[in-house]
Structure 1
């Protein structure tokens, strides 16, 4: 395996980690106004992701940095052509982060309600637009002979990409509901379990349609088919575990479903990194978009040294904050 292929796989792993980890806290944010019936319940919902949400965002920062260094042509074309949707994602993430920090600065109910709306919007917008972005990456976009995006914003809002956005949104809501059922006690746990069951059925239908469309009408491949079948099985297994009240296994099922769905997209995409719908000769591939071998070699050694440290630290964070919480753990205002 050459280094450009290795770094394509590593970027796929980074985005997989991002969608699995940030996916559940996007889902929690979307469910905040649904499950948080009063102030104490809303604080429980927020506190389930309070220690980890900012660490989860590190994955996408690392993925973006890896794209910039390993595939500068891919990074430049993607971030210029997808400028508006990526800007909206960035603005939503900033708003969401500020909301987490400022929500508790005042006891005024209206103050808290405004920031709760910011958390909801800052979670929903990225959950939807990340799917739209990756749908366009897999489907392909209008690239000219200079590998520059020749389309407009509305070209990105095609039916396939919009369906991809609905898939990521529904999967993240399901994943977040399962996480809340795993991390909470009492009535919130029961309601989260029920929401996970309903949202999971919607996600399963949308995901099956999207994956079938991907493999039959957009891009296929034996590996993509295998990953797609495994993703469907993992999601169904997670929903069955959730129905049985086994939240730990349910969370593993939804996490595996998201990871395998991302693997499906990247395996269908390879060896391209950004296909062209105008002419296949204009497509960006792992070969014509990559950095020099020397750059990739240095990056590989840096990754070998620092990746285990980051994984150990984040794993330790989840272990420390593993206990369930409930309304009884929240003091009166």
Structure 2
């Protein structure tokens, strides 16, 4: 039973890491047509995440793989019930990756605009749908006696889930704007800083509404405290952004994402996928988990290899830490 809980926490950390790191990636992609005034500035924005985005997506692959191995029942019910939104997210992420790789392959304005559109859509769609998926997981879905999803895709589009989607979209936009302000210089930095201030207020309203709704339904004292701290961190981040202290502003938005997602997992526990049909049909950390032997082997693998992955990714961020601007982009 202890290993079940350990792997629930581990999977929560993996999803937190994914939303934290991929969140600003999505934000940068969404803001490409908003902040950039020409192709050179678009290239500046893309280069802020160019060395990082594919490494950030490893967190998603690892989170999905760990869920499959540690909680196969959870994985099966989750990916069958959310088949359509997950498929749309996958297609969007593929288009986004192609946009990064192919926009510079041909010297044509039309060519670049088309791949930019793929990059923008590939960022915006997951930014919304991940919030919708997470909201449904926390609230619960129609699970039958065999833990099978017995609803339709339309049952995923209720007000609480839509609010979750709009919240993650707004938070990622703000997180991305703060990241651009942190990583660029000149007029692009100034515009990103200003946009983060306005977007941050809207995101705060949505986040307060969503988190309050969540913890009113779940009545989780610890989750409620984490949610309140997340809101406080967001406000402190906005205050730092107003002073153009981009490092502290990014710390604030990053801390908010960590605390907010953690509060949702705390509210979810001990369930991993509640049933809205009958609580007895819910998947929990106990009835959805793999065998203790499997969890034990996974634990040793994680202990050995996870530090190496974290060290490598930290080194990558350190190497590409400096600001860039229009003057750093070669012609062409």
Q: Which residue of 2 aligns with 1:170?
A: 170
Q: Which residue of 1 aligns with 2:142?
A: 142
Q: Which residue of 1 aligns with 2:83?
A: 83
Residue 158 (structure 1) aligned with residue 158 (structure 2): yes
Question: Whole-Å Cα distance in 2 between the matches of residues 22 and 137 of structure 1?
Answer: 20
Q: Which residue of 1 aligns with 2:56?
A: 56
Q: Which residue of 2 aligns with 1:241?
A: 240
Question: Whole-Å Cα distance in 2 between the matches of residues 161 and 180 of structure 1?
Answer: 29
Question: Whole-Å Cα distance in 2 between the matches of residues 58 and 264 of structure 1?
Answer: 23
Question: Whole-Å Cα distance in 2 between the matches of residues 205 and 13 of structure 1?
Answer: 25
Instruction: Provide the aligned length of Structure 1 versus Structure 2.
Output: 332
SS at match of 2:142: coil
What is the TM-score normalised by the length of structure 1? 0.99
Residues 187-209 of structure 1 deviation map (CA, whole Å, 9 limit, x = unaligned): 00000000100000000000000
Q: Which residue of 2 aligns with 1:274?
A: 273
SS at match of 1:104: coil
1:35 CA displacement: 1.0
Q: Which residue of 1 aligns with 2:262?
A: 263
Q: Which residue of 2 aligns with 1:332?
A: 331
Question: Whole-Å Cα distance in 2 between the matches of residues 177 and 198 of structure 1?
Answer: 10
Q: Which residue of 1 aligns with 2:102?
A: 102
SS at match of 1:288: coil
Question: Whole-Å Cα distance in 2 between the matches of residues 277 and 325 of structure 1?
Answer: 50
Q: Which residue of 1 aligns with 2:302?
A: 303
1:11 CA displacement: 0.2
Q: Which runs of 5+ in 2 are unaligned?
A: none
Question: Whole-Å Cα distance in 1 between the matches of residues 222 and 299 of structure 2?
Answer: 25
1:220 CA displacement: 2.2
Q: Which runs of 5+ in 1 are unaligned?
A: none
Residues 117-170 of structure 1 deviation map (CA, whole Å, 9 limit, x = unaligned): 111000000000000000000000000011000000000011100100001000
1:327 CA displacement: 0.4
Q: Which residue of 2 aligns with 1:17?
A: 17
Q: Which residue of 1 aligns with 2:197?
A: 197
SS at match of 2:275: coil
Residues 282-322 of structure 1 deviation map (CA, whole Å, 9 limit, x = unaligned): 00000000000000000000000000000000000000000
**Runs of 4+ deviating beyond 3 Å:** none
Residues 192-229 of structure 1 deviation map (CA, whole Å, 9 limit, x = unaligned): 0001000000000000000110011x212111011001
Cα RMSD for the two superposed structures: 0.6
What is the TM-score normalised by the length of structure 2? 0.99
SS at match of 1:47: helix
